[in-house]
Structure 1
């Protein structure tokens, strides 16, 4: 198929061998050789297409980026000048084996185009979604593979400004990380160092100074650090930052009992420093820290899992921990119900009665509560609900109002629940698992159980 790249074309799909768009009549070949086959990305700076180079017998695939231009003769002239300057830099950067090569740059139909090498593989974002979170060994290897690429870039007075997992492709042929999307890269100059400019980058990964329009080599290092903690936890960077205490709390979100050595943790913490003066200033400093601290032998990922996830009856709480660490509140609520059934030897999905609460093993109840309290940072948990029940003087009406539950619906239909941190404190775990007569007595029965287990007020 041939795809028309003219903005606003109503029917851009065309037969493969067509020379002109059947909808708008525009030429389909760019520069008489590059045939677009489909769009593969869109952003504030333009749109990216998968294309074929018809001028080479093997017809290799490539990537074509069409850049948006603002109208106005003076702005347009300046944009074209900057485009050609940037293309020169991209050509120089593309000489590195871990940066896509620039194949062509040109202007056609009042639009600017870059043609780059296609990197076969998947982004680290896609890899994370497919196989799960990274461990320390993988993060160390990523840093060692990618930092030299950043040094090459910074040595040529370029700042990438948008480093994130979706802009790093693991090349299928050799598994090396390839740094892509230099479309927003800017030249470092004396004026750029001391004057604010356009804010460029992705908010989740952006260094604080970038929000003010300034960028330095250390800004890329900050974004790399944020990318690492996201890959370690699988949790959005927005969720990893504790805005109340103004600090990163990424260690609280490590899933599956995984640990990170103190040495690597300190390196990541320094990459994530808000103040530039406290951050690594150059790639060389990070590499020196990696080499001098000998972090090649990280702590065993599962070393403390049994200590943290105790069960008296052999229940594996890894899945519940992983769901809570990734803020999958709805799935974690269902998993809690499933685990309660397992602990009591009931069939999955069976309702529990007040008499069942009294039979819960203390260590298992404590483990479930600890996980909820830890990953919600004290917002959810059985002990949190108990505290609210005591504050309400054991008045069930007041208690339900405080935690956001219906007074008369003992099964709390899913539609009435809120599976996010905007829900009232103590809203989760829900009482969907509760059945039988006198179900409204369950907070009192649970309070007595927690008291008996020594976890009445905290985890």
Structure 2
């Protein structure tokens, strides 16, 4: 049925009707977005589940209606102005943030029959508030998982100088298709500049989750950490935050509501810091919070890794060579293995991003046996940007531009044409090339055999080569770090040109090394913080070419003529 957008009407019409049969209101916004049913109503207006009828698949979306003055006829002009500002602000923040797989995409912001409407991507799932009501209190590990995943999203948001200001269980949705958490409702979000951070404004956010300084109109990045910390306490205890808070002690007395549940001392202290009344007692940033979640590990016995020698080992890149060892300098070597030419089926039917499955031809090439390590990056570039240090850990906190710069410098050092893999080269190698046994992950159907991921990583990256290799004796293409590829981001393979299906060694899109380029680039393989679903060889992700995360690394390719 087609739901009328008129507040006074709310009539259900036939899905093919263009005008409401009761009040005559137009039922499509911009001749494409049709409301199907009301899924929420608040002080600003109604929220509708809708469909985009301009596309053959008519994908679901969400229509948010601004009707504050109708719902609140006695509101002052000042309150109306604030409401208008917040509604418009959500559209601006979503637009400024651009595309992120765990933030709803803004589709349109428009005026329809005298009212403002915001149309955004529909996230099919349930909020953590709904999940808590359904399953009861979360375990410590479940709360840690939520904390790490939302921190990853906030790292991106804060990196765009945006403070969300409304972190709470009802603004975090677990998406049904892949079980990823999605951060929603940027209506309270604020662009943080030095000038704005020095000003006091309107208190925004839910009082039970809002940081003290935020309620007084002075939000900082740590205000989001406070809201996330209180969210964790609510999930851990299934007790409302107001009940947990001790006014006399000015702190959350959450431990007395655990009902016998054991929480580790380290994690408990982190929750205390996150929810501290004083800003300076909280972690200073998302990165610091994530680092606190990483316990120091005992040294791990090293498996055979990139060769070290006092003599440079060089070999020509030729069709007869099954491997190649490059000299990065300072005795540090980088080994590549040969991937024979072949044809494979790229994509899967498990996710819309991975469709359609299509056949791709590839010429032979060489690819890194391991993700680029910190010692290799240090030898070539002269610095190590990683948050979690370890010579044989994969390098982290590198953008797509950083990865390209590494390839260019290593090419200069070795006289070889080193580059990032195309997305097709990466997936072909991960799936085992012409030796593939059809595994879901790179080398096995048992992810624990081949990858460090959320369930076994202890919330940190690990030295390369510690898990089982895949069919081509390539290590770590599932988990540990997401790996940059050359290609531009495309939502699916449906528009992929035939020439790229016939030549998978060519990237899809413009390979632009301009550091001002913030276009979205491909990431593959999952990381130490990823769920198993995202570590599949067919799984796809993306981020801005300039984005840096300790979850992001890369491996290199050398084409063979």
- Residue in structure 2 matched with residue 270 of structure 1 by the alignment: 273
- Residue in structure 1 matched with residue 66 of structure 2 by the alignment: 67
Equivalent residue in structure 1 for 2:180, among 176, 179, 183 = 176
Structure 1 residues 246-277: Cα deviation after superposition (integer angstroms, max 9, x where no partner): 2211000013x211100000110000000111
Q: Give secondary structure in 1 for the equivalent of 2:36.
A: strand
- Residue in structure 1 matched with residue 197 of structure 2 by the alignment: 193
Structure 1 residues 141-179: Cα deviation after superposition (integer angstroms, max 9, x where no partner): 112211010011011111111111111111112211110
- Residue in structure 1 matched with residue 6 of structure 2 by the alignment: 6
Tell me the number of residue pairs that the alignment of Structure 1 and Structure 2 aligns: 295
Go from structure 1 to structure 2 and tell me whether the alpha carbon gap of 1:84 and 1:182 turns closer, same or farther (over 3 Å shift). Answer: closer
How far 1:84 sits from its partner (Å)?
Answer: 6.2
Counterpart Cα distance in 1 of 2:237 and 2:87 = 38
Equivalent residue in structure 2 for 1:215, among 198, 216, 219 = 219
- Residue in structure 2 matched with residue 90 of structure 1 by the alignment: 94
Counterpart Cα distance in 2 of 1:262 and 1:296 = 20
Listed as ranges, the matches of 1:99-110 within 5 Å are 99-110=103-114
Listed as ranges, the matches of 1:378-393 within 5 Å are none
Report if the CA contact (8 A) 2:87-2:187 is conserved.
Answer: no
More deviation, 79-88/50-59: 79-88
Whether 1:237 and 2:241 are equivalent positions in the alignment is: yes
Go from structure 1 to structure 2 and tell me whether the alpha carbon gap of 1:145 and 1:35 turns closer, same or farther (over 3 Å shift). Answer: same
Counterpart Cα distance in 1 of 2:258 and 2:78 = 51
Counterpart Cα distance in 2 of 1:145 and 1:215 = 22
Equivalent residue in structure 2 for 1:158, among 162, 165, 172 = 162
Listed as ranges, the matches of 1:17-416 within 5 Å are 17-68=16-67, 87-255=91-259, 257-292=260-295
Counterpart Cα distance in 1 of 2:86 and 2:187 = 12
Counterpart Cα distance in 2 of 1:278 and 1:45 = 35
More deviation, 98-107/234-243: 98-107
How far 1:69 sits from its partner (Å)?
Answer: 5.7
What is the root-mean-square deviation in Å for CA atoms of aligned residues? 2.7
Report if the CA contact (8 A) 1:49-1:64 is conserved.
Answer: yes
- Which one scores higher on RCO, CA 8 angstroms, separation ≥ 6? 2
How far 1:96 sits from its partner (Å)?
Answer: 1.1
Go from structure 1 to structure 2 and tell me whether the alpha carbon gap of 1:82 and 1:211 turns closer, same or farther (over 3 Å shift). Answer: closer
Report if the CA contact (8 A) 2:44-2:83 is conserved.
Answer: no
Which runs of structure 1 show a deviation greater than 6 angstroms over 4 or more consecutive aligned residues?
A: 71-85, 294-297
Counterpart Cα distance in 2 of 1:263 and 1:296 = 19
Q: Give secondary structure in 1 for the equivalent of 2:208.
A: helix
Counterpart Cα distance in 2 of 1:81 and 1:250 = 36
How far 1:86 sits from its partner (Å)?
Answer: 5.1
Go from structure 1 to structure 2 and tell me whether the alpha carbon gap of 1:81 and 1:203 turns closer, same or farther (over 3 Å shift). Answer: closer
Structure 1 residues 50-109: Cα deviation after superposition (integer angstroms, max 9, x where no partner): 001111111111111112466999999998898667534313424111111111221222
Q: Give secondary structure in 2 for the equivalent of 1:203.
A: coil
Report if the CA contact (8 A) 1:163-1:224 is conserved.
Answer: yes
How far 1:192 sits from its partner (Å)?
Answer: 2.5
How far 1:45 sits from its partner (Å)?
Answer: 3.4
Structure 1 residues 314-364: Cα deviation after superposition (integer angstroms, max 9, x where no partner): xxxxxxxxxxxxxxxxxxxxxxxxxxxxxxxxxxxxxxxxxxxxxxxxxxx
- Residue in structure 1 matched with residue 312 of structure 2 by the alignment: none
Greater strand content: 2
Go from structure 1 to structure 2 and tell me whether the alpha carbon gap of 1:132 and 1:25 turns closer, same or farther (over 3 Å shift). Answer: same
Report if the CA contact (8 A) 2:225-2:274 is conserved.
Answer: yes
Counterpart Cα distance in 2 of 1:112 and 1:236 = 34
Go from structure 1 to structure 2 and tell me whether the alpha carbon gap of 1:265 and 1:60 turns closer, same or farther (over 3 Å shift). Answer: same
What is the TM-score of this pair, normalised by structure 2? 0.49
Greater helix content: 1
Counterpart Cα distance in 2 of 1:74 and 1:200 = 15
- Residue in structure 2 matched with residue 331 of structure 1 by the alignment: none
| Structure 1 residue runs without a partner (length 5+) | 298-459
Q: Give secondary structure in 2 for the equivalent of 1:266.
A: helix
Counterpart Cα distance in 2 of 1:26 and 1:76 = 25
Counterpart Cα distance in 2 of 1:82 and 1:239 = 29
Counterpart Cα distance in 1 of 2:11 and 2:117 = 18
